[in-house]
Structure 1
Amino acid sequence: MKNLYIFVTSNRPDQYLNSSVHCILNEGVNRIVFVKITFSDSDVSLNMLRQNVINLLDNLSKVIYKFYTGDRAGETEDLNKIYQQTELIIMKTKYEQCLLDHISWETKIINYTEIKSYIASCKKQFKNSIFDVSGISKTFLGDIFACCLVEDIQNLYTFELKIKEDYTHPWIMLIHALQKDKQYNYVN
């Protein structure tokens, strides 16, 4: 079992979808854990985020993009009108692979004071786990980086776009569109 721990801040699923899909298809990951760092002990929005990422994958496998935030929250866009048939087939296949039963989607809320012990525990249990900080707030980034250094963790990554962000057409910032001309890096 290979794990991907995605540290999350926002409820917007798009930014976590890219890392998830990349790691499932290219790194052999079959367990994704969305980790939210908090200063208190409760936060219900993490389960909603996990479900929104899965729903976004499901919709994309049906070539539909759903907006989860912003002025268009709740609206959908039919991607059949935007992509050519061959691109649609590739898109559907890519996202369907990420919805298979052997992929586990989990959540974990940790207190700020537990960052180091949580990271150490993850490394001890699953040595070749990947830690993703693509969407984490800068408030926690330094702490996560420092803990990974102390624990000698080499697999700390971020998903980096090579294109200009476009929130009016957010599907062009998703991995199916970025992969075509390698418009992203998964940087260690």
Structure 2
Amino acid sequence: MQLLINSLSKFELRTVRYAFFDGDNIGNAIENLLNSGRVKEATHLSESIKLAIFQIELFIRSRKGAELIIAGGDDVLIKYDATVNDYAFLQEVLNIFNNFTGLSMSCGAGDSVNQAITNLMSVKQQNKGGVLLTSEGIGTQNASMKQTKLYIFVTSEIPDPYINVIAHCNANYRSLSQVTLVGITEDRGRIPTEIGKLERLRQNISDLLDNLCRSKYPKKVDDQLTLLDIQIEPADRQRYDDLKRLTLETKVLDYQILGEEISSLIRSTDSFKYIFDVTAVAKSYLVDVYTILRFKNISDIYSFELFKKRDFDERDLVHNLIYRKTYGFTCLAETPHTENKIIVNETSIVTENEFNRLQADFSMLENERNSLEDKIANDFAIFWSLSYLGVLLFLFAFSSWIIAQPGGWDWLEPTIYIVTFAWFLLNFLLQIVFGGKAPSLNPKDLFLSLKNWKKKKLVRTRLADAKK
């Protein structure tokens, strides 16, 4: 009874979940290389993906409480015990893929295969390269706590264009709770100056929001800053008032390590939606920022565009504009020429020497596996051949005993003839019925047949396990 209770306790403690992994924009990466005539690099990338999946297979099989179901192309489906393997286990799979290919991989996990696939589709749309895990216990919580982070690259201290971006995102994206004003400088000695500039901008945004909530707008009249009364509907005043609850932060990025600095903004174990506004970014930095973000599979890169002549006063604020008529918030990564395209870092592609080394390691592992399967099949054939020999020795001993009995030879002689004839007849009929594929009862042929049969069974089992 105690044993039964212990068994039930272990079963209850085991939490089975499924995780589906898929490489991000792999087809586009290879297509981009082929379209640019870099066939060799495309081949190396393809082989690197194969090696990455192979390494992931080895990693999964080595982990307690993890079972590989599917592994092929750039897709991996596993079943795992969540009480043994946590979030770090899923993240390690993503790291293996990234280390071998230089590209990212996304993961969706849940209580069922369908839930894992659904989460995978969600994380690919919202946060490529991340992990999204939901279950009956935490699914609702994850959905309600999901937040959006807005990063605005700035160059001036005029608050109007930044308020437009913040107001638009707050109205059109759920759970916007944090806005970061981002500056870039090439001179590290000017970082304190840039910080002061961002702090003044943050204060300017706060002051302008306070004034707009009171239907006021600051404007220079005869070189004097004057608060003018303006017409703002109550709903628009409330819209500006809602922006005051948002957390407004500042961050200065060092251009010399811009890639690392941007990585620090989006490196998080939580599944945030990131929005980057590059409306005011200096043109000399725009290509750098866009390239780094796209290399990290961030596609929510936007620019706020006015479709009318600028007035440089309250008429340019969002409450006087109409989305898609007088202004737009355009995603730069979804134009006809940029949609479904990614940035590939050439240094992340496996070099020819590294590729040859990995291919040699892969071949060595395959040879070791084949040798092990051959040894198992050989031992199997030896065991049953010895069993066959044991039967023959028993028959020989039994025949000797029969001969020693009175009249034994008279009984044994016709029996041997009948048994021998039946033996060869059975062997002949088996070959006819099975088209020559049945194992021969000849001891030598039987050994080879048993060995080949066992090897084929091992291969079938291995392939079946890989497809489960």
Task: From 172, 181, 188, give the equivalent of 2:315.
Answer: 172
Give the fraction of aligned pairs with identical amino acids, expressed as a percent. Answer: 32
Deviation at 1:70, TM superposition (A): 9.6
Q: 1:60 aligns with which of 212, 216, 220?
A: 212
Number of residue pairs the alignment of both structures matches: 177
Q: Name the aligned partner's letter for residue 152 of structure 2.
A: I
State the match for 2:165 in structure 1: 19
Q: 1:180: how far off?
A: 7.5
Q: Which letter maps to 1:34?
A: L
Equivalent in the alignment of 1:49: 201
Moved over 3 A (4+): 69-73
The residue number in structure 2 matching 1:36 is 183
Measure, in 2, the Cα distance between the counterparts of 1:175 and 1:99: 16
Residue aligning to 2:235: 90
1:159 aligned onto 2:310? no
Cα offset for 1:20?
Answer: 0.8
Point out the more displaced range, 70-79 or 39-48: 70-79
Q: Describe the shift of the 1:180–1:25 C-alpha distance in structure 2 as closer, same or farther (beyond 3 A).
A: closer
- 1:138 paired to 2:300: no
The residue type paired with residue 42 of structure 1 is P
Q: Please give the per-residue CA displacement for 1:16-48, whole angstroms capped at 9, x wherever unaligned.
A: 110011112221311000011012322211100
Which structure is richer in relative contact order (CA contacts within 8 A, separation 6 or more)? Answer: 1
Between Structure 1 and Structure 2, the one with more strand by share is 1
Q: Which has the higher helix share?
A: 2
Deviations for 1:128-157, whole angstroms, at most 9, x for unmatched residues?
Answer: 110111111112111111111211111101
Q: TM-score, normalised by structure 2?
A: 0.36
Q: Distance in 2 between matches of 1:70 and 1:155?
A: 39
Is the 2:266–2:274 Cα contact (8 Å) retained in structure 1? yes
Q: What is the distance in 1 between the residues matched to 2:306 and 2:329?
A: 9
- Unmatched 5+ residue regions in structure 2? 1-146, 332-468
Q: What is the aligned-residue RMSD (CA, Å)?
A: 2.0
2:257 equivalent to 1:114:
yes
Gaps of 5+ in 1: none
Is 2:321–2:327's contact at 8 Å kept on the other side of the alignment?
A: yes
Assess, with a 3 A threshold, how the Cα gap between structure 1 residues 71 and 116 changes in structure 2: closer, same or farther: farther
1:2 paired residue among 131, 148, 156: 148
Select the structure of larger CA radius of gyration.
2
